[in-house]
C-alpha cells in the first residue's frame, strides 16, 4: 500500500509539472516580441532598427502567413561577405589609420551597431580589379621555376596582407576563401596572363603553388579555409584569366591538387567550378568520378547567367557535397535618391540561401568613385564596390545593405530553417458563412507570400529576411509555434525580423 501511495504521489507530481510545462510553452510565443530592421527604397531608413517591437498573438487573422518552422533545418551557414581584391585593399590602406579602423570595425565587428561580415574571398595573385597583373612566381620570358624557389607574396604584402591582418584583429574567426584568376604565365600555353590553358607538364608544380600559397599565408597569420580551382574557368575574356575544360579541371584535382594537399597535411577545402548557374553539368561531371570527388568539398557558383535553382539541381544530384556562392556584382547609380534593394535581396539572400548555399559573397568590397582600379583589356570598369572610398570619405552602396541585412543577424554556425515560400501550398482557415464559430480549411496551391528565408542562430534566435518586391504596402504575417504577428512593409522595402 505504501509503494502504491508513493507511486501515485509521483504520478500526480509529474502531471502537475507536465501541465505547468505545457502552460509555459503555450504562453511563451505570446511573450515573444519581434525586433525589426528595415531598409526603405526612398532611403529614409537604411538598415534601421524600428523603435517598436511587435508581439506574437493568438489571433491568426485573415491573411496567409509565412509559417516559420525551426523543427525543419537545412544547410549550415558559413557566412556573408565580399571579395577583398587588391584594389579594395589598395584604397583601404591609403585611408588615414583612424578612418580605416572605423570603417573596418563597422564592416567586420559583430559588436554593437556593426554589420558583422564574416566571410572574405581573396584572390590568389591578381584579379581583374587590380592596378596591375601579377602572380607569386613571375619570371622573365623563357625561364621556369619548377621548384618554386622564387615564389613570393611580395605584392600582397603591400596592401592585401596588412588589411587582412587588421580585419583578423577585429574578427579572428572570419572565414577566408581564395581563388586564382591565372597561373604564372610560364606555366600556361601561350605564356600570357589572359586566357590559355595550364600546360600539362605544369599540373604538378601548379598544385604545389597552391600549397605554397596556403603555407605562406599561414605564416602571416592568415588561415585559408577553402580554395576554388579557378575563377570562371569558362571565361577567357578577363585580364587575367585561364581556361579549363571539365576533364582538365577534374584531372588537376584528382592527380595533383588533392594528393598535394594530402601530402602537405592541409585541411583547406577544395571547391570546384566557380562559375555561372547555366552549367550544372560542369561540377557534376567532375563529381561523377569517385576518385576525384573524394578530394572535393563542393561546388561554387556565380549568377551572371542561368537560373539560381541550378544550385539545387547540383544539390539534388550530390547532396553529400556542399554548395557555395562566390561572386555577384551588385551596382547602383551613384547619388541615386532610391535604393532598389528588394529585388537584389530576393535574388541573392533569399534565392541563394534557399538553393542550399552555405555562404554569400558579392563582388567586391571597395572601389573609388571611378570604379578603379581595374586591369586594361578585360578588367571590369563597372564593378562598383560595396563601399566607395574617396580619400577618407566612405559611401555605402546597394551591395553593402544587401549583405548587411543578413550578415548582421546570421552568424557562422546558424542553420537555414523552413519558412513558407510563395509557391508552397498553404492552408487557409476561414469562418463558415452561416456559423461563424465554425472553421473551414481550404488548401491553397500557392501561398503567394513575400520572398523570404529563415535561419536559427547558435544562440537560438530566429531570423527572417523578407523582401517586398511588389508595388503595394504588404503585411508580413508570421506564424511561429501557433502564434501570429503582423508587420507592415512598404513596396520595395526589405525587413529583417528577429525573435
Domains of the chain: 31-75+417-498 (2.60.40.1180), 78-412 (3.20.20.80)
> What pLDDT digit, counting tens, does each position of 273-282 carry?
999 999 999 9
- Strand 387-390 to strand 393-396: parallel, antiparallel, or no bridges (unpaired)? antiparallel
Residue 30: pLDDT band with limits 50, 70, 90: low
Of 324, 359, 361, 415, the closest CA to residue 75 belongs to 415
- Specify the pLDDT at position 275: 98
Answer with the residue of higher pLDDT: 7 or 140.
Answer: 140
DSSP state of 77: P
> Given pLDDT bands bounded at 50, 70 and 90, which one contains residue 432?
confident
Q: Which residues, in sequence order, are bridge partners of residue 275? A: 301
Q: Over 50: is that where the pLDDT of 23 sits?
A: no
**Which residues contact residue 72 at a Cβ distance below 8 angstroms, ignoring those fewer than 6 apart?**
417, 418
For residue 322, with 0-12 CB atoms within 10 Å meaning exposed, 13-18 middle and 19 or more buried, which class applies?
buried
User: Has residue 377 got a pLDDT over 90?
Assistant: no
Residue where the block lists cell 566557380? 274
Q: What are phi and psi of 108, to 5 degrees?
A: -115, -15
Whether 19 shows a pLDDT value over 80: the answer reads no
Dist CA 396 CA 375 (whole Å): 24
- Reported as half-sphere exposure (CB side, CA atoms, 13 A), residue 346 has a value of 15
Give the Cα separation of 462 and 169 in Å (integer): 28
Vertex 434, ends 433 and 435: CA angle to 5°? Answer: 100
> What is the C-alpha separation between 67 and 398, in angstroms, rounded?
29
Please report the pLDDT score of residue 208 as a whole number: 98
Neighbour-count burial of 135, counting CB atoms closer than 10 A to its CB (0-12 exposed, 13-18 middle, 19+ buried): buried
| Model confidence band, residue 28 (pLDDT cutoffs 50, 70, 90) | very low
* Average pLDDT over every residue of 200-204: 98
What H or E segment, with its residue span, contains residue 228? strand 226-228
User: Above 80 in pLDDT, residue 21?
Assistant: no
The three grid cell numbers given for residue 52, joined into one nine-digit string: 517598436
- Region of poorest pLDDT, from 81-90, 226-235, 436-445, 449-458: 436-445
Copy the grid coordinates of residue 303.
Answer: 549568377
Tens-digit pLDDT profile for residues 280-333: 999 999 999 999 999 999 999 999 999 999 999 999 999 999 999 999 999 999
What integer pLDDT is reported at residue 434 of this predicted model? 82
Give the pLDDT score at 7: 47
18 vs 366, residue with greater confidence: 366
DSSP 52-120: S-EE-BS---SSPPEEEEEEEEEEEP-EEEEE--HHHHHHHHTS-HHHHHHHHHHHH--STT-----EE
What does the pLDDT average to over 351-364?
A: 98
User: Residue range 159-183: average pLDDT?
Assistant: 98
- Is the bond preceding 139 in cis, omega lying within 30 degrees of 0? no
Which residues are within 8 A (CB) of 47 and not within 5 positions of it... i.e. 6 or more apart? 37, 38, 39, 115, 401, 404, 405, 408
Give the per-residue pLDDT at 433.
Answer: 81
Which pLDDT value is given to residue 93? 97
Question: Residue 445 has what pLDDT?
Answer: 92
Catalytic residue among 50, 216, 232, 307, which?
232
Rounded Cα–Cα distance for residues 493 and 42 (Å): 9
Give the pLDDT score at 376.
Answer: 86
Read off the pLDDT band of 437 (50, 70, 90).
Answer: confident
The mean predicted confidence, pLDDT, of the chain is: 93
- For residue 22, give Cα distances in angstroms to 25, 400, 442, 460: 5, 44, 29, 20
Q: Could you give the CA distance from residue 351 to residue 469 in angstroms, rounded to a whole number?
A: 13
Are 353 and 361 in contact by the 8 Å Cβ rule? The answer is no
For the beta carbon of residue 345, count every other beta carbon within 10 angstroms.
Answer: 28
Paired residues of 272 in beta bridges: 299
**pTM for the full predicted model:** 0.92
Q: Average pLDDT, stretch 121-133? A: 96
Beta strands 226-228; 269-277: pairing state: parallel
pLDDT tens digits along 238-267: 999 999 999 999 999 999 999 999 999 999
Task: For residues 66 and 422, give the distance between their C-alpha atoms in angstroms, rounded to a whole number.
Answer: 9
Rounded mean pLDDT, 117-141:
96
- CB distance 400 to 386 below 8 Å: yes
Strands 33-39 and 494-498: antiparallel
212-to-209, 240, 252, 334 alpha-carbon distances in Å = 5, 21, 16, 41
Taking alpha carbons only, the member of 363, 477, 453 closest to residue 85 is 363
327 is a catalytic site residue: yes
- Residues 6 or more apart whose CB falls under 8 angstroms from that of 294 comprise 258
In the three-class reduction of DSSP (H, G, I as helix; E, B as strand; rest coil), residue 143 is classed as coil
- Grid coordinates representing 128 are 581583374
In this predicted structure, the answer to whether residue 431 has a pLDDT above a threshold of 90 is: no
Residue of 143, 327, 433, 434 with catalytic role:
327
Count the neighbouring beta carbons within 10 Å of the beta carbon of residue 142.
7
Torsion 148-231-94-371 (CA) sign: positive
Question: Crossing angle of helices 97-108/160-170, nearest 10°?
Answer: 60
All three cell numbers of 10: 509521483
Active site residue 201: no
Amino acid at each position: 500500500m505504501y509503494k502504491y501511495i508513493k507511486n501515485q504521489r509521483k504520478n500526480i507530481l509529474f502531471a502537475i509539472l507536465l501541465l505547468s510545462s505545457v502552460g509555459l510553452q503555450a504562453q511563451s510565443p505570446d511573450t515573444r516580441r519581434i525586433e525589426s530592421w528595415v531598409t526603405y527604397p526612398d532611403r529614409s531608413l537604411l538598415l534601421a532598427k524600428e523603435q517598436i517591437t511587435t508581439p506574437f498573438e493568438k489571433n491568426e487573422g485573415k491573411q496567409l502567413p509565412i509559417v516559420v518552422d525551426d523543427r525543419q533545418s537545412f544547410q549550415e551557414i558559413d557566412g556573408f561577405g565580399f571579395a577583398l581584391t587588391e584594389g579594395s585593399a589598395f584604397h583601404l590602406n591609403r585611408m588615414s589609420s583612424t578612418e580605416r579602423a572605423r570603417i573596418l570595425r563597422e564592416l567586420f565587428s559583430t559588436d554593437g551597431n556593426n554589420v558583422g561580415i564574416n566571410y572574405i574571398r581573396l584572390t590568389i595573385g591578381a584579379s581583374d580589379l587590380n592596378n596591375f597583373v601579377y602572380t607569386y612566381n613571375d619570371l622573365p620570358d623563357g625561364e621556369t621555376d619548377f621548384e618554386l624557389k622564387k615564389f613570393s607574396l611580395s605584392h600582397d604584402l603591400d596592401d592585401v596582407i596588412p588589411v587582412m591582418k587588421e580585419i583578423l584583429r577585429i574578427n579572428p574567426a572570419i572565414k577566408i576563401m581564395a581563388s586564382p584568376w591565372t597561373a604564372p604565365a610560364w606555366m600556361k600555353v601561350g605564356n600570357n596572363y589572359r586566357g590559355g590553358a595550364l600546360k600539362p607538364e605544369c599540373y604538378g608544380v601548379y598544385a604545389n603553388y597552391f600549397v605554397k600559397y596556403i603555407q605562406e599565408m599561414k605564416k602571416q597569420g592568415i588561415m585559408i579555409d577553402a580554395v576554388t580551382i579557378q575563377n570562371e574557368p569558362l571565361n577567357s575574356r578577363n585580364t587575367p584569366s585561364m581556361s579549363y575544360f571539365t576533364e582538365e579541371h577534374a584531372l588537376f584535382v584528382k592527380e595533383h591538387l588533392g594528393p598535394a594537399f594530402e601530402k602537405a597535411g592541409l585541411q583547406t577545402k577544395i571547391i570546384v567550378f566557380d562559375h555561372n548557374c547555366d552549367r550544372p553539368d560542369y561540377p557534376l561531371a567532375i563529381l561523377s568520378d569517385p576518385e576525384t570527388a573524394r578530394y572535393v568539398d563542393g561546388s561554387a557558383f556565380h549568377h551572371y547567367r542561368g537560373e539560381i535553382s541550378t544550385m539545387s539541381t547540383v544539390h539534388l544530384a550530390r547532396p553529400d557535397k556542399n554548395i557555395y556562392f562566390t561572386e555577384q556584382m551588385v551596382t547602383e547609380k551613384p547619388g541615386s535618391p532610391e535604393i532598389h534593394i528588394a529585388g537584389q535581396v530576393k535574388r541573392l539572400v533569399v534565392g541563394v540561401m534557399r538553393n542550399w548555399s552555405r555562404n554569400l559573397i558579392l563582388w567586391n568590397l571597395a572601389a573609388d568613385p571611378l570604379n578603379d582600379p581595374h586591369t586594361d583589356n578585360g578588367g571590369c570598369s563597372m564593378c562598383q564596390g560595396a563601399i566607395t572610398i574617396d580619400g577618407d570619405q566612405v559611401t555605402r552602396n546597394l551591395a553593402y545593405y544587401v549583405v548587411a541585412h543578413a550578415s548582421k543577424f546570421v552568424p557562422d554556425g546558424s542553420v537555414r530553417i523552413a519558412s513558407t515560400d510563395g509557391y508552397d501550398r498553404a492552408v487557409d482557415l476561414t469562418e463558415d458563412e452561416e456559423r461563424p464559430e465554425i472553421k473551414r480549411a481550404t488548401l491553397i496551391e500557392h501561398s503567394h507570400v513575400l520572398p523570404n528565408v529563415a535561419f536559427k542562430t547558435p544562440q537560438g534566435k530566429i531570423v527572417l529576411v523578407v523582401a517586398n518586391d511588389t508595388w503595394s504596402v504588404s503585411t508580413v504575417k508570421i506564424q511561429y509555434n501557433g502564434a501570429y504577428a503582423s508587420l507592415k512593409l512598404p513596396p520595395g522595402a526589405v525587413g529583417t525580423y528577429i525573435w
